[in-house]
Structures are given as structure tokens and as C-alpha cells.
Homo-oligomer: A and B are copies of this chain.
């Protein structure tokens, strides 16, 4: 155990023994240096570690405080490979990381978005200009939930191209996939219900569970093979699960795409237990192979899947247009939307209809996929070149994330805090889980182009990791 880890452990013990109570102001870095006789660097690392563990909170101009106690009960009878969390408690950490990655001076390797310069801005702006000519006073009212008719038809036709029959009437237009996912979850659960998520999973799922006061069952998920179906079966057997929220294509953060066989098995298993699948499929257009992968919904014969997607990751994030193919839940979801945001903005829906009518969407997607594949390749090479060989880079063939594994014992949260001082952001593993399994992992966004600046940044990352290794 390194010095800073020892200090952190010592302070953790003090907190657990009530020496420091939640809300208490902790000694400043300077005071701690004097008290402990350790170096400023060591003390600073210890505090960063504690902060990254959610044990203490930094308040600007004020100092460090003990964090409120997290209510996470460990399983009384722990099912193998299934972590049970009585109360999902995702703190402000995710928010901080995301905010930091928005700063233009920071390299956004932590970002969830692809580089917007990859999107067809001139064509989209032309569609916007077109709407400014055709919008009428009444078009506003025609776009209340379930959303613009033509847009829902256009989306239904894209499902049909994959051989999936979705009626436009089942589709609700939402503020991005995030609203679609949130409304779907709310439509099929009550506070206190159990919901299955992947471990690790998109942090939006954990936040939604927290917001809706649901209980999470995190099921082990492999970086290549995806969710462990045995563990899933066990969870379904042992808990009264209401819904399962997961990603089947280009999973965030791991990057895998489930095999067709596994998608079929997943649907069969959930259907057998009468559990609704909330399928987050926002990256489905970003495959690198020949054929667009099917969603799990394609295997669903019993209307048990709410399929959520959007145009945010593959065409235009700023429009905030997503949808859910909600089947029998469509009406309930319309109700919930009318109660919370009323509707998606009308000119944005009309602009998308105009853009889709130009038939340029598929050509754009082909170009986008090629560019993303190239950039991922460049990023991967740079990471291989600059990071110490102890770092494992989990490769995958879609989307724009890589999943990196630091040697055991190195905390990616600490690396993230150190990197941020060099204006480099990464997304630490603990953003994607309520368990500690992923403390030494991080997600790396490869979509923001690759040049000297990026290369230098990876070189710095490599140095910081070596510093932590010693």
C-alpha cells in the first residue's frame, strides 16, 4: 500500500468511526501536511482518492467535507455475479466529469458525444431554413405527443427496412433517447421496484433508477460477451424484477455488440419471467461491419420490449430528438410526457422530417462510420504507443469508445483528477457502476479527431499512469 493510500485508509477509518461526521469540514491540505508530516503531493493524492470514492466532497473556496453516508446495503444472500443495491446512490461525480469535459480547453476523452463536426451541418441548417419558410401557426399544435406524424412514419419505415414491423402509432417522439428511456422505465415500474442493469452500464440508467427511487440489480457483464445470462437467470429467479434496461449494440461503456443468438436468448429469458426489456439502442447506426445489427426487439414476439433510440449520436445532438417504439405502452408514455415536458419542440421535428426526405441520411451514416473507424484506429495506436504495457486496452468494432484497464490497485478516479489538471478528461469506471469492480477502468472517447494535441495528451496520460505505478 502506497503512502497516499495509507493516509486515505486512515481517514476512511476515522470517518467510519465517527471521528469525522458527514458534513464535517476536514483539515485543509496544508493543515494535513503539517499534521501528518507527509508531502503535499501525497496528501493531495489521498484527498483525491477519497473524493473519487465519494467519501469526501470538495467545496471551492471552502475546503473538504465528509460526504453524506451512502445507503448501499450489501446483499444478505449474495447471488453469484449479481450485485444488489437497496438504494442506488450516484453522486454528483458524474455531473462533475461531464461538466469538465465541456470546457473547450479540456480534451474531451470523457465525453459521451462524438465530435459534432462529423455531422452534416450545412444540410441540417438547410432543413432548418426550410422550416423557417414553411412553419405555420398551427404546426405547433400538430406536434404534441406522440409527435410529428411524418417523423414517426419515417422512423417506422427505417424499422421496416430491417424487417421489424413497428406501427407509427407505437412510436413516441421524445427529447432524445434519454427522455425515451426515462419515460419507458417510469411506465413499467413503481418506486421501490427491482430493475436489472448491466455492470458496468450507461450511467444514465443508474441516474434514472435513483431519480425514480428504484432498486438496482447489477448483473455481471463481460467486455466481449456482454451480460452473463446465467447470472441474469439467477437474478430473475430470486427477485421480483419489473424491467431490464440494457444496450445490445455497441454497449456503453464496453463497446460489445451481442450476438444474434444471445439477443434471442435474452428476449426468451426475460419473456419467460414476464420482465419488460428497455432496450437502449442509440449506437445502432455506428457499426463497423457490413450489416446493421438487429435490436433484441427483432426477436420479441410478445410486445415485451420498449426500443429507445435517437438521432443524437449519429446525426445531430442539439435537436434533442429521440423516440421509443413502445408497443402497448405507447399511450401511457404519451401521458407521462404530457405531464413532464409536454412535447418535443416542433420546428426541430419538422427540420428532421425535411432532412430525412432528402435521402442523404444513409450516405452520411456511411461516411460517419468510416470516419469513426479511422479515428478509433488512430487513437488505439496512440494509446498502445504511449501507455505503459501494464494497461490493457479492450478493443471493439463499433462506436467510438475504448475501455481501458489499469493495473489492479490503480484508481482511475485518481488518474482522472490528475489528468484534469493537464486539461485532459477521461471517464472513470465508477461512473458506470454502483459497485467497486471498475475502479481501475476508464472509458476513452476516440471520436474527436486525432492530431498532435491528442497525441501529446495520451503521452501525458501515460506519464501519469507510470507515476501512479511507482
Contacts and interface: CB of A to CB of B under 8 A. Distances in A.
Given A318-B347, A347-B318, A132 B137 contact: no
A126 interface: yes
Interface stretch (A67-75, A116-124, A285-293, A359-367): A116-124
Interface stretch (A173-181, A423-431, A459-467): A173-181
A195 to B, nearest CB: 15
A341 B342 CA distance: 12
A137 B125 contact: no
6 contacts: A116-B140, A119-B137, A139-B318, A211-B336, A319-B346, A344-B345
Given A95-B338, A211-B336, 10 more contacts: A95-B335, A104-B138, A116-B140, A121-B136, A125-B132, A178-B340, A208-B340, A318-B345, A320-B345, A345-B348
A372 interface: no
A168 interface: no
Nearest to A142: B102
A133 interface: yes
Residue of A92, A139, A338 ringed by the most chain B CB atoms within 10 A = A338
Interface of A: 92, 95, 98, 102, 104, 113, 115-117, 119, 121, 124-126, 128-129, 131-133, 135-144, 175-176, 178-179, 182, 186, 191, 204, 207-208, 210-211, 213, 316-321, 334-336, 338-348, 351
A341 B92 contact: no
A166 B74 CA distance: 44
A318 to B, nearest CB: 3
Give the number of copies in the complex: 2
Report whether over half of chain A's contact residues are helix, strand or loop; otherwise say mixed: helix
Contacts of A317: 140-141
Given A128-B131, A133-B125, A211 B339 contact: yes
Contact of A318 (B121, B140, B319): B140
Contact of A132 (B119, B126, B321): B126
A120 to B, nearest CB: 10
Contacts of A138: 104, 116-117
A117 B139 CA distance: 11
A301 B186 CA distance: 37
A169 to B, nearest CB: 14
A97 to B, nearest CB: 12
Given A137-B121, A318-B345, A347-B318, A211 B131 contact: no
